[in-house]
Amino acid sequence: MLLIQLLNGMQYAMLLFMLAVGLSIVFGLMNFVNLAHGTLYMIGAFVGFSTARHTGSFWIALFAAPLVAAIIGAAFYATFLGHMQRQGPMKQVLVTFGLIFVGLDFVRMIWGDNPQSISPPEILSGSVIVVGEPYPLYRLFIIGLGLALFVVLYACLERTRLGAVIRAGVDDRVMAAALGVDIDRAFFFVFCLGCALAGLAGVVAAPLLQVYSGMDMAIIIPTLIVVVVGGPGSLVGAFCGALLIGMAETFGVVFFPTFSSFMIYAILAVVLIVRPGGLVSLRYSR
């Protein structure tokens, strides 16, 4: 039972990581508070549902949902969110909080209020035997996808020119721009990447959870907690925070059902007291 719950915790943690890493990058590196991140997660789930229903392929939906989320994010950034980056956090919170309701009405106008669902691909619809118990293949797929995503993002941020540009822009934006580095373009790409990851998390979660209007509000609070616990802007921190919160919530429901509803908030409080910057503080100074 412990091993099965450990796998369940890993699956939930990887889902949180896919959603939290985009928000953490945007929040930590760009100093932008985007509360509408969960809305892109919801739109990604609905786009994945529509794509899978019309094409009959989950894999096409897996590609389409992040692409649509990135396009929507790019449109918002180009129109007014880019200008909000240099405003105070209160204005950013108010604007992106308003976008939550815009996105909610947009989803209701197109897909309605009835919950929908997506079937996992046929190749992942079965189960494997783990210590004598059947375990869904699709959950193992989510674990593998989350781990692969972490490895790819780490390699990109630490080993590529884009990662060097991002680090330079965070360390000293003015100096990097004076050296000819297009910081605005790099940060625009980072923002679009974060939006795409939110859409990816939405379509990946769709076969496990019902797709419904308002699903963004159910996930955004745990995601924000992951970002704060891990440390805003830290890829490793987002991964560690997702593991901690995912495991705590999974094992809390099993072993401490009475206290499970506020366990993650207790963890948040302890981390903020002991390490106010999160488990892995951003190592690039501003």
Number of structural domains in the chain:
1
Report the 10 Å Cβ neighbour count for 9.
22
Residue 270 lies in a domain: no
Could you read off the pLDDT of 212-260 as tens digits, one per residue?
888 888 888 899 999 989 888 788 888 999 999 999 888 888 787 777 7
165 assigned to some structural domain: yes
Phi, psi of 23 (to 5 degrees): -65, -40
Percentage of the chain exceeding pLDDT 70: 94
pLDDT above 60 (res 285)? no
Task: Please tell me the pTM assigned to this model.
Answer: 0.88
Tokens 């951003």 -> residue: 282
In terms of Cβ atoms closer than 10 Å to its own Cβ (0-12, 13-18, 19+), residue 204 is buried
Q: What is the pLDDT of residues 73-123, one digit of tens each?
A: 898 888 877 777 777 777 888 888 888 888 899 999 999 888 888 888 889
Does residue 221 lie in a domain region? no
pLDDT at 286: 37
Please give the helix or strand (H or E) that residue 253 lies within, else none: helix 235-255
Does residue 179 sit within a domain? yes
- 275 belongs to a structural domain: no
Mean pLDDT on 54-63: 92
- Domain contains 260: no
Which has the closest alpha carbon to 194: 5, 8, 66?
66
Query: Containing domain of residue 67, as a range?
Result: 19-215
